[in-house]
Amino acid sequence: MPDLTPEERRGGEVEQAGGTRSAPAPRTSRLPGPAQGFGVTFSTMFKKVTTEQYPDEPKVTKPRYHGRHVLNRHPDGLEKCVGCELCAWACPADAIYVEGGTNTEEQRFSPGERYGRIYQINYLRCIFCGLCIEACPTRSLTMSNDFELADDSRGDLVYTKEQLMAPLLPGMEQPPHPMRLGDDEKDYYLRAGS
């Protein structure tokens, strides 16, 4: 590679082993560099500051916000979760643990053959991605807008089935009880108006 004098270089370009590199752009300000930096600081010092009064005025989330999970119920109170464990398989953070149980006619918790006997979500691991919601075939698992999940105990951030179940609405009965909306699970999932 020939050595070039500054006069021989074109347009301030410096030839290097990997190619050419352009010279820095010409400065448009007559102020030194540090004064330009302080200018940015001073220009933002007097702008209005956005302050949220969080504990006193709770933040309003968007309708599709991914917050705490909820296990939903059918209109008669039976659980929608059938213990299939697809949500646990879909979870990339391995935050969900499901153990299915078998329904009997005396002890019926869901319309299908199985129900989620043990259901836990570890919110220390959950990344709120929503893949568990997409994997649920019965639309049992949804996400609410509840975002206040902080706690000072690690054990309290592992939510159990009782903490995740949707509350009983008027007209619902606490399971276990027989099916009230039809004779088999197809009446629950394929009924008109749902």
Structure tokens of 44?
Answer: 């933002």
Structure tokens of 146?
Answer: 């509840």
Rounded CA-CA distance 158/97 in Å is 10
Ligand-binding annotation for 9, yes or no, is: no
At 120, is the secondary structure helix, strand, or coil?
strand
Ligand-binding annotation for 87, yes or no, is: yes
Ligand-binding annotation for 126, yes or no, is: yes
* Closest CA relative to residue 150, chosen from 121, 125, 124: 124
Cα 75 to chain centroid distance, Å, stands at 27
> In the chain, which ranges are E strands?
14-16, 19-21, 69-71, 96-102, 114-122, 141-143, 158-159
Ligand-binding annotation for 129, yes or no, is: yes
Ligand-binding annotation for 132, yes or no, is: yes
Angle at 163 between CA 78 and CA 52, to 5 degrees: 125
Ligand-binding annotation for 184, yes or no, is: no
Rounded CA-CA distance 145/67 in Å is 5
Binding residue numbers for [4Fe-4S] cluster: 81, 84, 87, 91, 126, 129, 132, 136
Binding residue numbers: 81, 84, 87, 91, 126, 129, 132, 136
